[in-house]
A = this chain, B = another copy of it.
Amino acid sequence: MSAVSNPYGPNPSDYLSNVSKFQIIDSTLREGEQFANSFFTLDMKVQIAKALSDFGVDYIEVTSPVASEQAKTEVETICKLGLKSKILTHIRCHMHDASVAVETGVDGVNIFIGTSNFLRQHSHGKDMSYITKSAIEVIEFVKSKGLEVRFSTEDSFRSDIVDLLNIYTTVDKIGVQRIGIADTVGGANPRQVYELIRTVKSVVSCDIETHFHNDTGCAIANAYTALEAGAKFIDTCVLGIGERNGIVPLGGFMARMVVATPEYVKSKYNLKKIRDLENLVADIVSVNIPFNNPITGFCAFTHKAGIHAKAILANPSTYEILNPEDFGLSRYIHFANRLTGWNAIKSRVEQLNLTLTDNQIKEITSKIKQIGDIRPLNIDDVDSIIKNFHATVNNLELPEPEITLEGEISRKRQRTD
């Protein structure tokens, strides 16, 4: 294989890959409404829809208008906002639901039905021939109204492959825009996803949408692998909120995709808005941004170990595959700890606009590491050590009481005596 400039770019052997031409169907206003903590008022939904459209998601999926009276009003209101994103609503495969949905002003209707033995037995209780008959009826009705149609099978990965291929080829012939493959229970793994999507892609001509739950932590990877296999549309939610612990998070998915296809992602989506979008939704559903969230977690661009700090200071790409500036964020070298190294301290000395030799900086570093062995350090501590050292070697007056190793050891003894 020839050397490629981006080792994380699309695999050239995936000739059906949509890694560099995917689209996003954001479901924060549908799947996200099924999150335990969600209670969306109309005003909140409008704020979220506008923010999603400003970010640049291709589609916004909203709760079925038959869920409640208020839900219907909300769909209608969102459709009238004139957003750049197209609006879809997500309905059961029922004529009644479809007849209400097509009158709301949506651009398209996402129809779903469970096809696994589990769901056929314990949810709707219907067999595949009934499912096929309903699917044809509902799809033809929605198409007759001039709207986009997606048909998806819940719990696809526990459904019989023959059933799936039968129903997908049937609805493809009727002329749906997209079929949907859903890992409703969040148990699928990437290569399993690749195989199923490749197989389905080989028998249909329409586009493929995917919906991955995150129960086993693979939602983002499954979405990426689905694109490699020929899927084109990925369902996301802001912060991944949804049933249980949710689905593909929009921000994490952007982290994945900007590494694979930086030009496409940066030209199409407004990455600098991810932070505000996540904060908006986190506030509305009363959760904190997870400490380890991709991109916006508080330490996503923090480097601590001395060996990392040294290399990052020389070239950020050494230990960063994402550029914080792409997201309107900045990196941070954590130098106030016992794992610090002299390159990190030298950088801090320069930030403080002080002049010290490399040997002097190494001496300070050793002192900082010794104190860091005894207690947590903060930036003020380290700055104080540096400034005192600088004052001492230059015979200047000491700016403040000195922090010394001896003083720390005596403080520690007092605490532990």
Q: Which residues of A contact B (CB under 8 A)?
A: 7-8, 11, 33-37, 39, 63, 67-71, 92, 114, 118-119, 121-123, 155, 157-158, 184-192, 194, 214-222, 224-225, 228, 239-241, 243-246, 249, 252-253, 255-256, 259-260, 287-288, 290-294, 297-305, 307-308, 310-311, 314-315, 317-322, 334, 337-339, 369-370, 372-376
Contacts and interface: CB of A to CB of B under 8 A. Distances in A.
Contacts of A36: 298-299, 302, 304, 334
Given A122-B314, A189-B225, 18 more contacts: A7-B157, A33-B339, A34-B308, A34-B339, A67-B338, A67-B339, A70-B373, A71-B338, A92-B307, A114-B311, A123-B307, A123-B310, A214-B294, A217-B249, A240-B292, A243-B304, A243-B308, A244-B320
A180 to B, nearest CB: 16
Contacts of A303: 243-244
A38 to B, nearest CB: 8
Given A216-B294, A256-B217, A288-B291, A158 B7 contact: yes
Contact of A122 (B114, B187, B318): B318
A122 B311 contact: yes
Contacts of A320: 185, 215, 244
Contacts of A190: 190-191, 221, 224-225
4 nearest interchain CB pairs? Answer: A221-B221, A290-B290, A70-B373, A187-B321
A297 B8 contact: no
A300 B215 contact: yes
A68 B157 contact: no
A319 B243 CA distance: 9
Nearest to A292: B245
Contacts of A185: 319-321
Protomer copies:
2
Contact of A68 (B158, B307, B370): B370
Contacts of A119: 311, 318
Contacts of A311: 114, 118-119, 122-123
Contact of A243 (B7, B157, B225, B305): B305
A114 B310 CA distance: 13
A36 B332 CA distance: 10
B11 A192 contact: yes
A190 B228 CA distance: 11
30 contacts: A8-B157, A36-B299, A36-B334, A37-B291, A67-B338, A70-B338, A70-B374, A92-B307, A118-B317, A119-B311, A122-B314, A122-B318, A123-B314, A185-B320, A187-B321, A189-B224, A190-B225, A191-B194, A215-B320, A216-B256, A216-B259, A216-B322, A217-B221, A217-B294, A218-B224, A218-B256, A243-B303, A243-B304, A243-B308, A288-B288
Contacts of A33: 339
Given A8-B192, A190-B190, A244 B373 contact: no
A68 B294 contact: no
Nearest to A302: B36
Given A245-B293, A292-B290, A217 B304 contact: no
A287 B294 contact: no
Given A299-B245, A339-B34, A216 B321 contact: yes
A392 B228 CA distance: 60
Contact of A319 (B67, B157, B184, B228): B184
